C-alpha cells in the first residue's frame, strides 16, 4: 500500500525566512503533485512534477522531485503572510495505465507570522 508522508505537519515561520516541506512516498512513482488549500476553501493546484529531477518554481515557492529517493520538496523563500495555508503533496502510484487515483499526504499547515 502506497504511503505518502509529509513533514512537518505544522510549520510556524517568520516572514522573510526560508523553509522546506518534505514529501516522502513508499513506492515507485514519477508523478507528484503539490496543492494549496486556504481555510474553508477547495484545493488549488500548484505544481506538477512528472520526472526525476523535475523542478518547478512559482514566485516564492519551488518544488522538486527525486524519484530515486522517493522524495519531493517544497521550498519556501522569504516567506510572506499570504503563503499561510495548508500544502498537500499527492502521488500517482500507477505506472503506465494510470487512472489518476492520487494518494494525498496529510498536509502541512503553514503559518507565516510577522
Give me the residues that bind another protein (CB under 8 A), please: 31, 33, 35, 41-45, 48, 50, 88, 90, 92, 98-107
- Reading the block at residue 52, the C-alpha cell is 526525476
Count Cβ atoms within 10 A of the Cβ of residue 79 and give its class: 0-12 exposed, 13-18 middle, 19 or more buried: buried
Specify the residue, 77 or 84, whose C-beta has the smaller distance to another protein. Answer: 84
CB of 79 within 8 A of CB of 21? no
Specify the residue, 50 or 55, whose C-beta has the smaller distance to another protein. Answer: 50
Smallest distance from another protein to CB 58, Å: 14
Smallest distance from another protein to CB 105, Å: 7
CB of 47 within 8 A of CB of 64? no
Specify the residue, 87 or 112, whose C-beta has the smaller distance to another protein. Answer: 87
Smallest distance from another protein to CB 44, Å: 8
C-alpha angle with apex 33: 30 to 38, nearest 5 degrees? 170
Amino acid at each position: 500500500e502506497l504511503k505518502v508522508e509529509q513533514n512537518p505537519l505544522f510549520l510556524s515561520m517568520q516572514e522573510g525566512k526560508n523553509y522546506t516541506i518534505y514529501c516522502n512516498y513508499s513506492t515507485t512513482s514519477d508523478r507528484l503533485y503539490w496543492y494549496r488549500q486556504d481555510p474553508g476553501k477547495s484545493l488549488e493546484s500548484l505544481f506538477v512534477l512528472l520526472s526525476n529531477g523535475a523542478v518547478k518554481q512559482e514566485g516564492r515557492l519551488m518544488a522538486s522531485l527525486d524519484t530515486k529517493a522517493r522524495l519531493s520538496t517544497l521550498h519556501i523563500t522569504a516567506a510572506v503572510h499570504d503563503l499561510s495555508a495548508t500544502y498537500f503533496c499527492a502521488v500517482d502510484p500507477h505506472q503506465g495505465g494510470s487512472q489518476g487515483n492520487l494518494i494525498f499526504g496529510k498536509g502541512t499547515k503553514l503559518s507565516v507570522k510577522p
